[in-house]
A and B are shown apart, each in its own frame.
Chain A
Amino acid sequence: MIDALGSPGSLLLVGGTSDIAVATARRYLAERPLRVVVAARDTPRRAAVADELRTAGADVQVVDFDAEDPGSAERMVAAAAGGGDIDVAVIAFGQLGDQDQLASDPAAAAALGQVNYVAPVVAGTVLANRMRSQGHGAIVALSSVAGERARRSNYVYGSTKAGVDAFYSGLADSLVGTGVSVLVVRPGFVRSKMTEGLPEAPLSTTPEAVAEAIVTGVRKGRHTVWVPGAMRWVMSGLRHTPRAVFRRLPF
């Protein structure tokens, strides 16, 4: 259960090896020990993350999850819930993709759509069902400012995030009164392994800052958070920038 002051007893990390997922677990563990389920593909990185979180005081369970396998989410949630109620679930997986390849290779675009949009929708549906029946819980979905208005430099990625954002925002409204809440997180450019080697965009942020926003957002029962907070006003401006200007912007 998430207690009266917003502290959960269990945390499910879907895409548990992502930097934001790990940072979120560490941020919670800095306050209290808790049960953490790391759902990811069976890789050395997953084992390393599990060890790291155990050292930080978590009671860690490892569960298989593969965003490219449509049946994976159902098995993953069932396995995670086998150890008790899921208080907070973070949907933290995703790929950036290579825009040049995505622009020319339809199979690559479809694959990114599967991982970044279809899989989060499937996972969100399964999780919402599960949490509705347990009568409580919070789902945290990692959206992106890239979904707010797609740019020529990464519109395939941006479009998947726009879809994820719309799905979870609607899901949030459908869950009112069920005891389940949804937090949509819209970070700007996050310096992480996903963006390694890319030039930094303005107002870039860190996985730790995103984790802080997640913990605070869940605690306060927020529906949407931007990281950094100023991104909200920047994107509000960009959303209303005339197209002729927007497409010439240098990012």
Chain B
Amino acid sequence: MSESTLLNGWGRTAPTPAVLTPVHDDAEVRAVLAAAGGRGVVARGLARSYGDAAQNAGGHVLDMTAANQVLSFDPETGLVDVEAGISLDELMNRFVPQGFFVPVTPGTRLVTVGGAIGADIHGKNHHVAGSFAQHVRWLDLLTADGQVRRVSPEQDPDLFWATAGGMGLTGVILRAQVQMKRIESSRCLVDTDRTPDLDSLMTLLAETDHLYEYSVAWIDTLAKGKRMGRSVVTRGRFATLDELPEKRKADPLKYHGSIKLSVPDVFPPGLLNLATVAAFNELWYRKSPKRKRDQLQSIPTFFHPLDAVGGWNRIYGPRGFVQYQVTVPFGQEEAMREVLDRLSSFGTASFLAVLKRFGPGNPGMLSYPSPGWTLALDIPVMKGLAGLLDSLDEVVIAADGRTYLAKDSRVRPETFEKMYPRLEEFRAVRKQVDPDGVFTSDLARRLAL
């Protein structure tokens, strides 16, 4: 029996042991699969899922980050073939200087392409570009029978759309072809607006989001009463060459994506409390401009502000935290208001919540985005939280909404079933390609996927 490693997600809750094996090629993946035994296998990338998606208690976990090469790139079309363990960070380092950006990026660039497909991640451009899988032309999937299948939306739509958003439960994504997005510069032109409450925020986004390629709002969750939902909206697009100031025109695609500082391993618990977080949120709101237009920002500043601080998840202390991310359809704004209101009055020391409007969904059976509002916020583990979130789930279900598996670490299986009406289709595909359930994870067990 090989040595086990305790693994956890970004929220640092519920760690479990598994045999973690770095895999460099298809043969090494097959070898782990052959030795898997009854507790199964799941692939793990950069472990940015908040909960238990990339851990497998008592079983095997594949460390996919060892297979991280660019296999080919066509500068004419922007199509790149990569190994699934490559990070979006590396893709940016390689291709931003050549005039190509990743088609979709979440709030961190430290995710792998395999993970981006498995969670079918979305970003600030969802309302115009959809989610990550919509920019994947094909993927190579190693299934339970040891075969490698090239799966595309045209050739095998069922398997493709079960794998996109399928949290690694259909097989191991080995390689993929991704359509990169052409950019003229590495700078973004950003408009900032401050809104005093939730109504004005939702109105602003509903009326003018279509004018922007990228859009997101940060809400102060500690503001109550009339100020509930006060927020800062940042929206923008990549600047064209002409729009750059003269001094930047010489090197328009210059890019630095480094991590500047790290949170120490032991962060004093108690430093984050209602008073300090409220003070932070107040300061953040006040220092943001009321209205600013065409501000030039770098990619890290606009897309990945938190990546500047390595290991920021440690600030919530040893008990960890959860991220509650849910979406409700347009027309269900009242449900979103109730969720935000009850989270605010619960008094958790939460920093900012993120609100965004989704565009159309895609055929992914377990893909999260669907037309409507999505809200996300981090909450430290505390007394009464389990019951609160269970009751908020009821509000979300009543509004035909759902929760995001990449963030989840605590939803109930019956609740999840109600949120994803296409779960049975997903199960049918999974049963076909993996009849013995070789691919499994703590998340799959917890939710009886």
Which of A7, A135, A136 is within 8 Å of B410, CB to CB? A7
| Contact A134:B386 (CB < 8 A) given known A5-B410, A179-B6 | no
Chain A residues whose C-beta falls within 8 Å of the C-beta of B4 in the assembled complex: 135, 177-178
For the complex, give the distance between the alpha carbons of A199 and B442 in Å: 48
- Say whether A150 faces chain B, with CB atoms less than 8 Å apart: no
Complex contact B446–A177 (CB within 8 A): no
Interface residues in A53-93 by Cβ distance below 8 A to B read 84-85
Chain B neighbourhood of A2, CB < 8 A: 14
Q: Is the CB of A5 within 8 A of B59?
A: no
Residue of A whose beta carbon sits closest to that of B52: A1
Q: Return the CB mask of A113-140 against B: 1 if under 8 Å, else 0.
A: 0000000000000000000111110000
Residue of A1, A7, A33 with most chain B CB atoms under a 10 A cut-off = A1
- A6 at the A/B interface (Cβ < 8 Å)? yes
Inter-chain contacts of B16 with A (CB < 8 A): 1, 135-136, 179
**Alpha-carbon separation in the docked complex, A135 to B58 (Å):** 4
B-facing residues in A1-23 (Cβ within 8 Å): 1-7, 9
Would you call B390 an interface residue if the criterion is a C-beta within 8 Å of the partner chain's C-beta atoms? yes
Contacts of A196 in B (CB 8 A): none
Write out the residue numbers on chain A whose beta carbons fall within 8 Å of the beta carbon of B58. Answer: 132-136, 179
Report chain A residues within 8 Å CB of B270: none
CB distance from A181 to the nearest CB of B (A): 11
Is B51 positioned at the interface, with any CB of A under 8 Å from its CB?
Answer: yes
Q: Quick one: which of B6, B58, B386, B410 has the most chain A CB within 10 A? A: B58
Bound complex: CA A133 to CA B52 (Å): 18
Assess whether B210 is interfacial by the CB under 8 Å rule.
Answer: no
Contacts of A6 in B (CB 8 A): 386
Closest Cβ of chain A: how far from B411's Cβ, in Å?
A: 8
> Cβ of A9 and Cβ of B413 under 8 Å apart?
yes
Q: Closest CB of chain A to B48's CB: distance in Å?
A: 15
Residues from chain A with a CB closer than 8 A to the CB of B413 are 9
Is B320 a contact partner of A135 (Cβ separation < 8 A)?
no
A1 near B57 with CB under 8 A, answer yes
CA distance A9 to B411 in the complex (A): 11
Closest Cβ of chain B: how far from A176's Cβ, in Å?
Answer: 10
Number of A-B residue pairs having CB atoms within 8 Å of each other in the complex = 78
Q: B372-390 vs A: 1/0 string, CB under 8 Å? A: 0000000001000111011
Counting chain B residues whose Cβ lies within 8 A of the other chain, the interface size class is 20 to 34
Size range of the chain A interface in the assembly? 20 to 34
Assess whether B17 is in contact with A4, with CB atoms less than 8 Å apart: no
Verify if A100 is at the interface (C-beta below 8 Å from B): no
A9 in contact with B57 (CB, 8 Å)? no
**Given A133-B58, A135-B17, A179-B15, also A4-B409 (CB < 8 A):** yes
Q: Are A134 and B57 in contact (CB under 8 A)?
A: yes
Bound together, the chains give a CA A3 to CA B13 distance in angstroms of: 8
A1 touches B14 (CB 8 A): yes
- B59 contacts which chain A residues (CB < 8 A)? 135
Contact in complex: B17, A179 (CB < 8 Å):
yes
Known: A4-B322, A5-B385. A31 touches B409 (CB 8 A): no
Min C-beta distance of B20 to chain A, whole Å: 12
* A32 on the B face (CB < 8 A): yes
Residue of B nearest to A34 (CB): B412
Interface string of A172-201 (1 = CB under 8 A from B): 000001110000000000000000000000
Please determine whether B57 and A135 come into contact, CB atoms closer than 8 angstroms.
Answer: yes
Can you name 8 extra interface pairs (CB under 8 A) apart from A3-B409, A3-B410, A135-B18? A1-B446, A2-B14, A5-B381, A5-B389, A7-B410, A84-B445, A132-B58, A179-B15
Q: Interface residues, chain B, CB within 8 Å of chain A?
A: 4, 6, 11, 13-18, 39, 51-52, 56-59, 320, 322, 381, 385-387, 389-390, 409-410, 412-414, 442, 445-446
| 15 A-B pairs in the complex with CB atoms less than 8 angstroms apart | A4-B410, A5-B386, A5-B389, A5-B409, A6-B386, A31-B386, A31-B387, A31-B390, A32-B412, A135-B4, A135-B17, A135-B56, A136-B442, A179-B16, A179-B17
